[in-house]
Amino acid sequence: MTSAVSVLDFGAVGDGVTDDYPFIQAALDAVGDSGGGTVILPKVSGRYLISQGLKIPSYVTLEGCAPARYPFNAGNLNSSALVAKFSDPFQWVIEPKTRVAQQPVPYNVMVTGSAQNDFTINCCVRNLVITSLELDESGNRRAVPYGGIRMHGCPGSIVENVAIDNVGCGLLVNFSTGGSYVVHTLTHYYGVACWEDSNANSFDVYSTRKDLSLGQIVPSAYLMPFMSALDGDLISEGLSTNNHYNRPFGLLVGATGDRASVNSSFDVTIENFSGGIFQRRALAMNFGRAYVEGPPPSVDIAMVAARSTFKAATLHAYISAPGNLWGSLFDIGNEVSACIAPNGMIYPASFGTVSSSESTRIVLEGVKPNDGTEMGDNGFTPHAPLQPNVVYGDSTPWHPLASPIVAGTTSMFLNGWSNVGGVSVDAAYRLQGDTGVVQLRGFITGGSTGTAAFTLPAGFRPFKRRAFTTVGGDVVIDMDGTVTVYTVGGTIGLDGIGFDRT
């Protein structure tokens, strides 16, 4: 195993004129053949020009001399830079040496399935600016490279402190797990994509669209293949329009068909893309921060989701000014379960749409429903109407015992027990947030002591028998959900009862 080598020792010049591709690739191959190590791009007077995309072997790190970051016109003077000058733009600037069936993977083909081979493991790109020449020798605009970095079939990959500029898509993670990605992108059509069996990855992303004059439609040559495959199917999945398939997005997450991407975490800032975040078959995704912004008319929709489950601890969608409303907040399709906490200044022209399918449920934490008469309700939007499958306020709503859970029944109460009524809070149960604690509340009366007052449904039952002393007597809850009440006065309070569920 090699500890570290410099590309200068392999013949690279870094003057921005000489083609350094063969020398950098030779260094990567040599370190890979030795079992792994680091290839250093030292700071030079110019930039490292490459005529072809680089391929990184397993256990190899390609590293510049200083972290690269946003903004792109400042703070990166001491960073090493790769500059793509491709005669064929349809390739990635950097990707692993992954092969399928002994063949390289074409630039627009996704790695899928379980019969793959020649995967690349634990490769890394760190502290680097990646860009491309904008003009040719005649002063005409060049076709930009298809993408910056593709990590496909590359478990454990790392992209850290990398700025990606002037490409079609900044970063694609495909069929890779356990990776970590800290990137800043300034791109034409897509910021970052996590697609097709890309699981348990971590993303810290700042994505900005480079040129708004390019319009709100991705040219067919630069469409991500999985987005092209969705053309014509999005309305059938409960979304309001099919136009999302060729919309520029800052973040794409999910999978095609019935496959999925699962259990990744995101902190994202997205600027000036027509679409903010697109999810399809993205399961158990966690957004610690989701910030989508842009001046009118750059942002059409902040968040699109179908057949997905996710939580957004913070959604800040500042997509216009209060006096100049533009765009929609959501387009939510079928089979979506989500908990979203909007905050900050959110001024879309409309709330958007949420599927009325029974398979969809959206919780908006800390938000009151709005009839559109108030200019700013709790920092949300003046156009957030009541919609089917949208729950406003508490992320863990209370379920009333007086409501039926079995067809043909009128309530959950048994043996003559019922709500006290009047000024007393009605009895209810809930699961408290992500803690796994079941809570009860309210006052009940009318039954005989020592009888079952109600039975908690599956998912709300204790992992072992529990007993509680409350106002008016004792309550015993068995593992099958049976709640037995012992009281002398005939009335008992359930407030304060809480337990870990099975």
Which residues of the chain carry a pLDDT beneath 50?
A: 371-383, 406-409
Q: What is the fold, at CATH topology level, of the domain defined by 399-500?
A: Immunoglobulin-like (2.60.40)
Instruction: Quickly name the fold that domain 47-393 has.
Output: Pectate Lyase C-like (2.160.20)
- Paired strand residues for 350: 328
- Which of 177, 174, 175, 169 minimizes the C-alpha distance to 202? 177
8 Å CB contact between 152 and 175 = yes
Q: What is the DSSP letter of 199?
A: B
Backbone angles phi, psi at 58, to 5 degrees: -60, 145
Cα 435 from chain centroid (whole Å): 22
As a whole number of angstroms, the distance between CA 21 and CA 36 comes to: 20
pLDDT of residue 431: 78
Q: Which residues contact 112 (CB under 8 A, 6 or more apart)?
A: 175, 196, 197, 259
Handedness of CA 67, 199, 218, 296 (dihedral sign): negative
Closest CA to 288 of 195, 202, 381: 202
Q: What is the pLDDT of residue 86?
A: 97
Q: Outline which parts of the chain fall under CATH 2.60.40.
A: 399-500
Task: Centre a 10 Å sphere on the Cβ of residue 131 and count the other Cβ atoms it contains.
Answer: 21
- Of the candidates 388, 328, 383, 393, which has an alpha carbon nearest to the alpha carbon of residue 354? 388
**297: preceding bond cis by omega (within 30 degrees):** yes
Would strands 124-132 and 103-104 be described as parallel, antiparallel, or unpaired? unpaired
**First and final CA of the chain: distance in angstroms?**
49
CA distances from 494 to 363, 451, 456, 475, 481 (A): 26, 15, 13, 8, 15
Handedness of CA 106, 110, 115, 119 (dihedral sign): positive
**What global pTM score does this model have?**
0.78
Cis peptide before 57 (omega within 30 of 0): no
CA–CA separation, 471 and 461 (whole Å): 22
Q: With contact defined as beta carbons under 8 Å apart, do 275 and 252 qualify?
A: no
Taking the C-alpha atoms of residue 475 and residue 272, their distance in angstroms, rounded to an integer, is 56
423: tokens are 């000024």
Provide the pLDDT for residue 37: 97
The secondary element (H helix, E strand) that includes residue 351 is strand 350-354
Token representation of residue 36: 């792994």
Alpha helical stretches, state H, 86-239? 225-229
Instruction: Give the pLDDT score at 117.
Output: 65
Of 317, 342, 392, 405, nearest to 362 by C-alpha is 392
- Sequence-distant (6+) residues with CB within 8 A of 125 are 56, 61, 62, 63, 94, 149, 158, 159, 160, 162
CB of 444 closer than 8 Å to CB of 463: no
Burial group, residue 426, by CB count within 10 angstroms (0-12, 13-18, 19+): middle
All CATH 2.160.20.10 domain ranges in the chain, comma separated: 47-393
pLDDT tens digit string along 64-100? 998 887 666 666 777 899 999 999 999 999 999 998 8
Each residue's pLDDT tens digit, 46-60 = 899 999 999 999 999
